Amino acid sequence: MKKLILSVLSLFITTSSFAGVHNYMLWSKPGVKVCFSDGKKEKRSGTVKWKQEKKDFVRTVIEQEYSKERTGIYFIGFEDCETASYKPNVIIYATNFTQALKGSRGNSTAGEGFFSVAKPYPSAKGAIELTSVTLNKTTIIHEFGHTAGLLHEQDHPDAYEAQSDCSSTSSKTVKKWGVGYTEFDEHSVMNYCYIHSSEGKEAGLSEGDIALLKTLYPY
């Protein structure tokens, strides 16, 4: 079992992955309620309307990878935000083709934020953007990993030595990780160097990812 040291000192981290997760980022309840939005009510630019088949795909992938038994934290709801029968914790947006041209496959907030991410939904303390035209399993799992509180594995202090052809670990990225971290996990779904390779393009949560999530959310 990998050692886990949670830092309570670095309170200014803005993104999350496998090592260096911070206490304040964790969700207070393991069943995180998510909903789909086209961004119109929020007047959010760069978003498009979700197609039903893509919403179904996102839900299927996430329910297979994240569950109370497997990861502790799990995601529920998956209704449209405007008509949802619950108060959402996380809003999922589909971004347009322009974002794909910029090279973006997705973005997300890290863990549970302090403030609402969208005025119409005051209970929403997190947001995920998934580029509609490049939607794929690994990106979905990766972005939900950030939402669960995980950091980019290629920024791990030991990543450069393990994959110098890809990682460019610097004092800046190490500082962002904080003082606590687990050992480097090459096959983490949070590791760009792995998921952007031919071997990892269909990657899911690694054994290390699952072990850490279960440790963080021992429900």
Of 42-46, 63-67, 163-167, which has the strongest mean pLDDT? 63-67
Per-residue pLDDT, 20: 47
| Residue at 165: amino acid letter | D
What confidence category does residue 177 fall into, taking pLDDT thresholds of 50, 70 and 90?
Answer: very low
Are 26 and 149 a contacting pair, CB within 8 Å?
Answer: yes
* Among 174, 145, 3, residue whose Cα is nearest residue 75: 145
> Alpha helices of 66-190 — where are they, by DSSP H?
68-71, 97-101, 137-148, 159-162, 171-177
Q: What is the pLDDT of residues 96-114, one digit of tens each?
A: 877 655 656 788 998 898 8
> Distance between CA atoms of 203 and 208, rounded to whole angstroms?
13
Per-residue pLDDT, 183: 81
> Distance between CA atoms of 183 and 59, rounded to whole angstroms?
30
Q: What residues pair up with 90 in beta bridges, in sequence order?
A: 34, 126
> Distance between CA atoms of 98 and 32, rounded to whole angstroms?
29
Q: What is the pLDDT of residues 182-200, one digit of tens each?
A: 788 889 999 888 888 877 6
3-state SS string over 116-129? CCCCCCCCCCEEEE
Pull the structure tokens for residue 116: 């609402």
Q: Name residues whose C-beta falls within 8 Å of residue 86's C-beta, 6 or more positions apart in sequence.
A: 33, 77, 79
Q: What is the pLDDT of residues 62-104, one digit of tens each?
A: 999 999 999 999 999 999 999 999 999 999 999 887 765 565 6
